[in-house]
Amino acid sequence: MGEAIIPNDFLMTKLSEAKVHFERALDCKHTEFDDLYPYMIEHPQFFWYKRYVAWSELLTIVKLCTELKVEWEQQFSAQQVDYIKKRVMSSKVLDYWFETNDTKVV
């Protein structure tokens, strides 16, 4: 079987979609996950799980980009790149993903 070539623009689109999905989950906005599991909205752990799923998706796309030597860092702030490279979705990630002058982590 021959090697399939994945275009860089395809990966960048998927990376952008994963970033938007994660950011919408952080903001507790509607995502396609809500459509898949509408009954979970009634459970308090739903938002944590929804964020975890979106974070996992983002890390998976970043891993693919890294393995295929596709530059992905320019899509994120330096702080976000650091969070992604650490791979752990901590409270710091949840609190400071959207970096502003008032919330910059030193």
The length of the chain, given as a count of residues? 106
- 4 compared with 76, residue with greater pLDDT: 76
pLDDT at residue 106 in the model: 47
Q: How confident is the model at residue 1 (pLDDT cuts 50, 70, 90)?
A: low
Task: Grade residue 78 by pLDDT with cuts at 50, 70 and 90.
Answer: very high
**Average pLDDT of every residue of the chain:** 86
CA neighbor of 91 nearest in space, from 83, 101, 82:
83
Angle between helices 46-67 and 8-26 (to 10 degrees): 160
What is the per-residue pLDDT for 29?
85
Q: How many CB atoms lie within 10 A of CB 16?
A: 12
pLDDT at residue 100, rounded to an integer: 65
pLDDT tens profile 17-47: 999 999 999 988 888 777 777 777 777 677 7
The percent of residues above 90 in pLDDT, for the chain, comes to 53
Q: How far is it, in rounded angstroms, from Cα 40 to Cα 50? A: 10
Residue 57 tokens read as 């998706």
How far apart, in whole angstroms, are the C-alpha atoms of residue 15 and residue 9?
A: 10
Using one digit for the tens of pLDDT, what is the confidence trace for 90-106?
888 988 999 765 555 54
Can you tell me the distance from the alpha carbon of 90 to that of 106, in angstroms, rounded to the nearest whole number? 16
Q: How far is CA 19 from the centre of its chain?
A: 4
